[in-house]
Amino acid sequence: MSGTDTRVQPRKSGLTRRQKRALSRGIQYAVFLAAVVALGATADWDRLQNQFAQADLAERMFPDIITLALKNTVLYTLSGFAFGLALGMVIALMRLSPVGPYRWLAGIYIEFFRGLPALLIFIFVGVAVPLAFPGTEIPGGTYGKVALALGLVAAAYMAETIRAGIQAVPKGQMEAARSLGFSHTRAMVSIIIPQAFRIVIPPLTNELVLLFKDSSLVLFLGVTLEERELAKFGRDLASETANSTPILVAGLCYLLVTIPLGFVVRRLEAKAGEATK
Which residues would be at the binding site for other proteins (CB under 8 A)?
A: 170, 172-173, 175-183, 186, 190-191, 194-195, 198
Nearer to other proteins, 51 or 195 (CB): 195
Nearer to other proteins, 132 or 275 (CB): 275
CA distances from 31 to 39, 42, 222 (A): 12, 16, 46
Whole-number minimum distance, CB 59 to other proteins, in Å? 50
Whole-number minimum distance, CB 184 to other proteins, in Å? 9
Q: How far apart are CA 167 and CA 196, in angstroms?
A: 8
HSE of 67, CA atoms in CB hemisphere, 13 A: 4
Nearer to other proteins, 154 or 191 (CB): 191
* H runs (alpha helix) in the chain: 17-42, 45-52, 55-60, 64, 71-95, 100-115, 118-123, 129-132, 141-168, 171-179, 184-187, 193-214, 230-241, 245-275
List all residues 6 or more positions away from 13 whose beta carbon is below 8 Å from its beta carbon. Answer: 20
Nearer to other proteins, 26 or 194 (CB): 194
Whole-number minimum distance, CB 178 to other proteins, in Å? 7
Whole-number minimum distance, CB 173 to other proteins, in Å? 6
Q: How far apart are CA 114 and CA 132, in angstroms?
A: 23
Q: Is the peptide bond between 63 and the residue preceding it cis, with omega within 30 degrees of 0?
A: yes
Whole-number minimum distance, CB 168 to other proteins, in Å? 12
Nearer to other proteins, 127 or 189 (CB): 189
**Is residue 204 within 8 Å of 44, Cβ to Cβ?**
no
Q: Three-class SS of residue 22? A: helix
Q: How far apart are CA 226 and CA 276, in angstroms?
A: 46
Nearer to other proteins, 154 or 177 (CB): 177
Nearer to other proteins, 124 or 182 (CB): 182
Whole-number minimum distance, CB 26 to other proteins, in Å? 47
Whole-number minimum distance, CB 196 to other proteins, in Å? 10
Q: How far apart are CA 216 and CA 170, in angstroms?
A: 39
**Among 104, 213, 109, CA closest to 159:** 109
